[in-house]
A and B are shown apart, each in its own frame.
Chain A
Amino acid sequence: MVTLGFGAAVAIAPGIPGQQLPTPPTEHELLETIESLRPELEEARRLAEAATARRRTERLAELAARPERPSEWVQAGPIWIVTPPGTAELAAEVFADVWREDFAALTGSPALDNAVFAFQWAWARPDPLVVDPASAAGRPIHRVELTRFWVGSRDGLRERVREAVWSTLKGDIAEGSPLARWLGASRYPSGERIARHVALSAAVPSRACLSGVLTGCEAILGLRGEAEYARLATARPPDAPAQLLLQALRLGGEGAWARLLAMQHASPLEALVWAAAVDTDILMASWRSELVDHRPTADAGLATTAGTTLLWALALALFALRSTRWRIA
């Protein structure tokens, strides 16, 4: 009875004259609340990363204490890879593909020349590969250790390797330099994702860029000063800076990476133009044509889908023709 009475009171409460509903927070207040939580979030993230790193170090120490497991060294371009026996050929093939298709213009990277990639691709989660310190000679080890369950295809492998090589390359750029700040946490760019982001952006410079106004492209890429960089943060696809940088290096060819590093303390646009050895307009036009070329299409994969469906329908039809309820005997 008491519960019913309380329920009824709660139900009619909003209708009591004079009772004030709490005022909903304004957008500004909400943003302030979210911002006030950021330090706690950052601290939690830092602690989680530290714990993961500690666990990995402990595990590596534990593995290092065991009798050494054999490993093989292979090279693809300037990249050195250490891998368990049996996967050396695959590692060389995958890294060589990635190097040839995506990074061949990037010769002379100190970070890449100095790095060692520990590569594994196993059915079960692999233990971290123990690299003999004498062989590694103090070089930093970048791990590409994957399970077939999550990364099931060679395309998936190439994607992960590409990402690992890209993040190693970024190690050449001095932390805190304008170029590093501009690149931010850019991952290896996906042309299609960037094209979709720009096409659906609610920012005027995005429309301008798509219509061929190159200053619009410069604006969304954050190359027109700090204020524009911050103002158009949501219009900028997260990996677009990386896409422009790689485009500049392709245009610049041999020595472009070294030129870029030499200018990394200048503004990002100056550094990119210097590395590409072309005018700003040519660089921007080249990036824009990359953007347009990667425009996603709705019919991607439709032919495969149609083929697969027809095959399944045929198989099911065969079952239907064979199966019967006509068992009158």
Chain B
Amino acid sequence: MYQPMLFIHWKQVRHVLIPFVVAAFSLPMLAVQGLGTDGSRAVSVEIYQIVSSSQLWLPLFPALAGGVGVVLALTAWNWDHKLGHVYALSLPVARWEYALLKMSAGVVLGLLPTIALWLGAHLALATITLPTGLTAYPSHLALRFFLATLMAYSFFFALGAGTIRTTLWVVGGLLALFVGSALVGDLVAAYVPALSEMSGLDLATRWLVKVGGPLQVFTGNWSLIDV
């Protein structure tokens, strides 16, 4: 049962996933292009240049991971929604088992861009010589990439699995959290000046990206090359 699910998902997503795989493979190479010790400049200048230049590309890695996750999640449910769930209902499996198989198939497909990124990072690093004091972290970067893909995939997969009403509730709830916390924060600060330092919006954002928050994986150190 698992293999057909994986195959169907692959058929659905391949045209969109392949460009992502190519992008994941190429991004590390773009990040290190023109860098490395060539002996013509002082090592100290090399270090500064390598770190500052490679960091310019950093935001693209989590963005790409997020994109992969969204694409995999949306294509996972695409044909079910299109065909009115007839195929799924014809199978001799429970609903939860069907969803689990489908989700794990997406996770496995998420490994493709991750492996491409890992290979690309190793290849990119093989083309440059790092000066003493700098270290390359291709495997850490690949792991972060996979985790970020998994997070985005899980969130949108859960949304896709539910009804339109659930999706509206979740998206509406998130919007309400941001807008409401900002409004309530301002209102409270206006009446209780001692609470003016407490911003609901800051609190919500902090909770999302700090330790324990769902978006924590998208922050942190995404460096391919660091000290």
A interface list, Cβ under 8 A from B: 123-126, 147, 149-150, 195-196, 199-204, 206-207, 210-211, 295-296, 298-302, 304-306, 308-310, 312-313, 316-317, 319-328
Cβ of B9 within 8 Å of any chain A Cβ, yes or no, is no
Q: Is the CB of B85 within 8 A of A305?
A: no
Known: A196-B227, A317-B103, A320-B99. A202 touches B143 (CB 8 A): no
Known: A200-B48, A304-B211, A317-B154. A309 touches B147 (CB 8 A): yes
Q: Looking at the complex, which of B24-32, B175-183, B192-200 is the stretch in contact with chain A?
A: B192-200
Known: A309-B151, A321-B100, A324-B95. A125 touches B195 (CB 8 A): yes
Q: Is the CB of A150 within 8 A of B197?
A: yes
Q: Is the CB of B143 within 8 A of A302?
A: yes
Contact with A along B31-45 (1 / 0, CB 8 A): 000000000001111
Interface residues on B, range: 35 or more
Q: Is the CB of B161 within 8 A of A124?
A: no
CB distance from A56 to the nearest CB of B (A): 15
B interface list, Cβ under 8 A from A: 42-45, 47-48, 51, 80-81, 85, 88-89, 95-96, 99-100, 103, 132-135, 137, 140, 143-144, 147-148, 150-151, 153-155, 157-158, 160-163, 166, 192, 194-199, 203, 211-214, 216-217, 220-221, 223, 226-227
Q: Which 6 A-B pairs give the minimum distances between C-beta atoms?
A: A323-B162, A199-B227, A316-B154, A124-B194, A320-B161, A313-B154
Identify the closest chain B residue to A299 (Cβ).
B140
Known: A298-B221, A317-B158. A308 touches B195 (CB 8 A): no
Identify the closest chain B residue to A314 (Cβ).
B154
Contact residue among A204, A302, A309, A326 (Cβ-Cβ distance under 8 Å from B44): A204
CB distance from B81 to the nearest CB of A (A): 8
Known: A319-B162, A323-B161, A328-B89. A298 touches B44 (CB 8 A): no
